[in-house]
Structure 1
Amino acid sequence: MMELDRRSLLASLAVAGAGGVSTLALARSKDSAARRRPPNFIVVLADDLGYGDIGANGSRAIRTPNIDRLAADGLLMTDAYASANICTPSRAGLLTGRYPIRTGLAWQVIQADDTNGLPPEEVTIPEVLGDDYASALIGKWHLGHTPPYWPPTVQGFDLFFGLPYSHDMKPLSLYTAGEGVEFTQEDVDMVALTQRFFARAGEFVDANRDRPFFLMLALTAPHIPLHPTKEHAGHSPAGDYGDVVEEVDAELGRLREQIERLDLQNDTYVIVTSDNGPWFEGSTGELRDRKGGAGWDGGYRVPFIAWGPGRIPAGSRSSAITMNFDLLPTFAALAGKPLPKDLVLDGKDISAVLLDGAPSPHEALVLFDNEKVAAIRTDRWKFVARSYYRGYDLPLARIGANLLFDVRSDPGEDYNLATRHPKVVKAMRARFEQYRQTYEPLGRKKEPDRLPGGKALP
């Protein structure tokens, strides 16, 4: 009852026609309503899937025919970023439309003995979509596993079926909450986990076929430990990692078949992406570094495919810079939902990017490593402000280093062009100081920058 009251309160805060719902999106949502009903949204969020781990992005070691088919029949985004290079903050950014540092979750990931989480006052995607949408989080939560942050039904979801955090953490149980179930838990069968998640997602889609729904299918794969099923074990030249990714691909194919069998494809947007770059296994393609790797793209840039027959043109490809926190305002726009009046968002409505190939609404994206500004990305340029060397977390920009990369011609961030573009460096350094002063004071740790040897910078 308290959650329903909270969602009603959030709805009352919204002002009809509030900023954030674009004219284009409203027109499209009205057209969609005239045709059938408000659109469904499905976000399939892989865990630690690398940019280069799908065929659509060049993988040869891992076969992903169903993901590739979604890309061929929809939109492949080449420059999509997660809002963090590790799990907890990235998920916070996706669900709230805000840089994770605003939510208090930018520092590391939540561990099994932690008691922090996503603040209940944060507004999430299901809360913006409202009570006329059925909503489910199936899979991994990792945004707090003690009250008042737990279970995910406290953040607007009608159904939760999944794990409190990563499946390499202990103790571990599989939980169910919502839809008439007060709260249950059961043992975890690691081998069957991906299949269980997809099966429960299929049940949710079937049960809500006649009303709009939002489904966040937050997989544990291909995060380690890796447990391929018998059906897929030993099939990929990319080892167990490849087997697990190919299992995800096969299950995605079955989910698409179900959507089409229920004749929901013209009412449904499907997004396939990852929470960050790959960890100890997996491919970043030609991108530099990996999950948790300071300011380099390999930890942040992720696969991103959007499928929406009849709305998203088949065979589309976009290099517009986007971030996972764009999903909240975009879904609100596509559903014709106003945003709460005083909600401060960093994400932007990218419906025109998805539907019409428009340029990015972002002038720049800020990449954080924990609570520090680690890099800045504009359409062409990347300014790297932090990196690691052996045991050092180097605050490069603060000690006078200028690392500037033309990521359009050099996506691997191999060659520094700072001396050739002093005006660009000046502009990027100004952005860096602005973002550092704006965001870093919001951090809960407020760790000072240190030089090698331990001396703190003012």
Structure 2
Amino acid sequence: MKNIILYSLALLGFFSNNLLWSAEKPPNIVLIFADDLGYADLGCFGSTTIRTPNIDSLARDGIKLTNFHVPQAVCSASRTALLSGCYPNRVGILGALGPNSKNGIKDAENLLPEYLKKVGYSTAIFGKWHLGDSAQYSPLRHGFDTYFGLPYSNDMWPNHPTAKNFPPLPLRQDDKVLELNPDQSKLTGWYTDRSVKFIEANKNKPFFLYMPHSMPHVPIYASEKFKGKSNQGLYGDVIEEIDASVGTILETLKKHSLDKNTLVIFTSDNGPWLSYGHHAGSKGMLREGKGTEFEGGVRVPFVARWPGKIPASVTSNEPTMTIDLLPTLVGYAGRVVQAEPKIDGKNISAIIEAKPNAKSPQEAYYFYWGDALHAVTSGKWKLHFPHPYLHIIEGGSDGKPGKSEIRKIELSLFDLDADITESKNVADQNPDVVKKLQILGDKIREELGDSLTGKKGSKLR
């Protein structure tokens, strides 16, 4: 009798543990990262000309963050922040790395896919990597099981409109080159097809799917199915094809009953590259665009859906940034980010889940251009330190850049809640706020440096 009782208790423990595991099963994560998308290019962010019903559905069924930022408005630096949880300056990646770059993401950095892989996730990247193109910087060395796409930006090829010294552009499958100078009108479709196959192959275990689209970075291309179908020319065609790709991913998740336990995020690496005129997106009311640390460059659309976890049709204007996604997603996977090496991001799950009174866990966010500290935000306030910036006088046409000039902004304070256009300097009226933000600026200069003031950072890796 005693043995029967013990056996029964053991079975009860077994089933209880499995039920608990099932209830706490970590979510699948799909992270879709557009390239150079304008803040106002999506229907759910105000576009009236580009149709994005699938991305809009993520906002309708989940949350929209209207105050979400990147720390540098350029390719490699932005992706570094996303995957490392660090300001890119801290880990030594600035700007946009070119072909055969001697720099790249270091082995010592713990990237998001590495954390997830350690707890049983299958991991894949289909799209643009841009954290170093040599073998030592391969995605396969940094947490991804499989990779298909471009090692850097799609304009870094012999057909660039102004720079003719780029080598042929490689399309890679894992660490093998499949072809050179691929037909770019097929990229979005290729990324989508492989994503579907990856989801289907890993439907019985947790997976992390990272889709950093090559588009709408110039040169822009749409497939024959979408070419000429939008109300905003080729650029609109490109965005509507990306939206259709999102729709295919959502349909695949639903088909395999994965949608209820999958967190889907859609955002962008920076704002629109305004120099390219009608081949660039819309910044809406924001000031400037890609290549600047004004809101048009660093504020990007963000939508996320996770049925049962994120309430439907909610919006948050709490300040957040891509550096915060790593600790947040690692937390959802049941892990805690290790103390060393230090990261800058903090968990924003309370904001993403629209918890009552959820606030940003960060005292401030910092915005660099290269190694120069341009601005700091804290709450609704944004302080620009004196710095030069590139202003687009006239956008180009048909894939060619337009006219630009260097301008300079002096010390300027903006109330982003009242003045999202960054057009009214209120520094004189708020000296205490200016002083507080200057102190925060001095603090980050100690760690990350600032070429504008000649400060060398003490915490650079």
Is TM > 0.5 for Structure 1 vs Structure 2?
yes
Match of 1:314 among 307, 312, 315: 312
Amino acid at match of 2:173: T
Residue correspondences, number: 405
**By how many angstroms is 1:83 displaced?**
2.5
Amino acid at match of 2:70: A
Q: Does 1:138 align with 2:115?
A: no
Amino acid at match of 1:423: D
Q: Secondary structure at the match of 1:276?
A: coil
Would you say the 8 A contact 1:236–1:242 is kept in 2?
A: yes
Match of 1:329 among 324, 327, 330: 327
1:30-429 residue pairs with structure 2 within 5 A?
33-35=21-23, 37-106=25-94, 108-131=95-118, 132-149=120-137, 151-170=138-157, 171-177=168-174, 183-187=176-180, 188-279=182-273, 280=276, 281-293=280-292, 295-357=293-355, 358-385=358-385, 386-388=387-389, 392=406, 394=408, 401-429=410-438
* Runs of 4 or more above 3 Å deviation: 30-34, 389-394, 446-449
Match of 1:435 among 423, 444, 458: 444
Q: Secondary structure at the match of 1:233?
A: coil
Would you say the 8 A contact 1:36–1:267 is kept in 2?
A: no
Amino acid at match of 1:388: Y
Q: Considering only aligned residues, what root-mean-square deviation do their CA atoms show, in Å?
A: 2.0
CA distance in 2, matches of 1:371, 1:91: 16
CA distance in 1, matches of 2:232, 2:441: 39
- Structure 2 CA distance for partners of 1:169 and 1:32, relative to 1, 3 Å: farther
Name which of structure 1's ranges 371-380 and 46-55 shifts more when overlaid on structure 2: 371-380
CA distance in 2, matches of 1:321, 1:153: 33
CA distance in 1, matches of 2:327, 2:374: 25
**By how many angstroms is 1:319 displaced?**
0.6
Of structures 1 and 2, the one with the larger relative CO (CA 8 A, separation 6+) is 1
Would you say the 8 A contact 2:59–2:305 is kept in 1?
A: yes
**By how many angstroms is 1:236 displaced?**
2.2
Q: Secondary structure at the match of 1:249?
A: helix
- Structure 2 CA distance for partners of 1:82 and 1:33, relative to 1, 3 Å: farther
- Structure 2 CA distance for partners of 1:415 and 1:157, relative to 1, 3 Å: same
Give me the TM-score of the superposition, normalised by structure 1: 0.85
CA distance in 2, matches of 1:266, 1:91: 28
Amino acid at match of 2:449: E
Could you give the per-residue CA deviations for residues 43-92 of structure 1, whole angstroms, max 9, x where no partner exists? 00000001110011101121111111110100000000012100000001
Name which of structure 1's ranges 60-69 and 87-96 shifts more when overlaid on structure 2: 60-69
Amino acid at match of 2:285: E
CA distance in 2, matches of 1:44, 1:233: 22
**By how many angstroms is 1:126 displaced?**
1.2
CA distance in 2, matches of 1:201, 1:409: 41
Could you give the per-residue CA deviations for residues 249-287 of structure 1, whole angstroms, max 9, x where no partner exists? 011111101101111111110110000111031111111
Would you say the 8 A contact 1:402–1:425 is kept in 2?
A: no
Would you say the 8 A contact 2:378–2:437 is kept in 1?
A: no
Could you give the per-residue CA deviations for residues 73-128 of structure 1, whole angstroms, max 9, x where no partner exists? 0000000001210000000110000000011102x211124221111111100111
Amino acid at match of 2:418: S
Stretches of structure 1 that go unaligned for 5 or more consecutive residues are: 1-29, 450-458
CA distance in 2, matches of 1:157, 1:331: 16
Would you say the 8 A contact 2:267–2:303 is kept in 1?
A: yes
Q: Secondary structure at the match of 2:449?
A: helix
Would you say the 8 A contact 2:373–2:452 is kept in 1?
A: no
CA distance in 2, matches of 1:391, 1:414: 19
CA distance in 2, matches of 1:156, 1:141: 13
**By how many angstroms is 1:33 displaced?**
4.0
